[in-house]
Amino acid sequence: MQKTRPKHLALWQIRLPLPGIVSILHRISGILMFAAIPFMLYALEGSLGSAERFAAFKDCIGNPLVKLFLLAVLWAYLHHACAGIRFLFLDIHKGLDLKTARLTAYVVLAVSLTLTAIIGAITW
């Protein structure tokens, strides 16, 4: 009996379903938030230290790259929260059927991106 299994795994050819993509993005958003903790704590400490440091903090926040970083952290927080609620419902066996799982995955993506766009537009 010959095995027809591939010798290597071609990751770029794997087509994940939408719930799988939401699951991977949930993990990525958790990693991003964890990696952002030192920067956010440093920014908080700097903004509360003195009036001069607060002015320097405001100047730093005005940089477009810093704004993009903060927008990415905002998306990570919102996506992680929305997907976390979805996964809590999956843990209690609500929404396990294929149609509902796809719908809730789409809703998580739509809500997190929409909220990120709205809050980002307000604060930009």
Q: State the pLDDT at residue 6.
A: 66
- The domains found in the chain, sorted by start residue, are 17-34+63-123 (1.20.1300.10)
Residue appearing with tokens 């009996």? 1
- Could you report the per-residue pLDDT of 5-32, keeping only the tens digit for each? 767 777 788 888 999 999 999 999 999 9
> Rounded CA gap, 52 and 57, in Å?
9
- If pLDDT is split at 50, 70 and 90, which confidence band does 47 have? confident
Q: Is 12 helix (H, G, I), strand (E, B) or coil?
A: helix
Which amino acid is located at 95 in the chain?
G
- Could you report the per-residue pLDDT of 65-96, keeping only the tens digit for each? 999 999 999 999 999 999 999 999 999 999 99
pTM of the entire predicted model: 0.85
> Rounded CA gap, 19 and 118, in Å?
24
Q: DSSP alpha helices (H): ranges in 1-124?
A: 18-49, 51-61, 64-91, 98-123
- If pLDDT is split at 50, 70 and 90, which confidence band does 4 have? confident
- If pLDDT is split at 50, 70 and 90, which confidence band does 49 have? confident
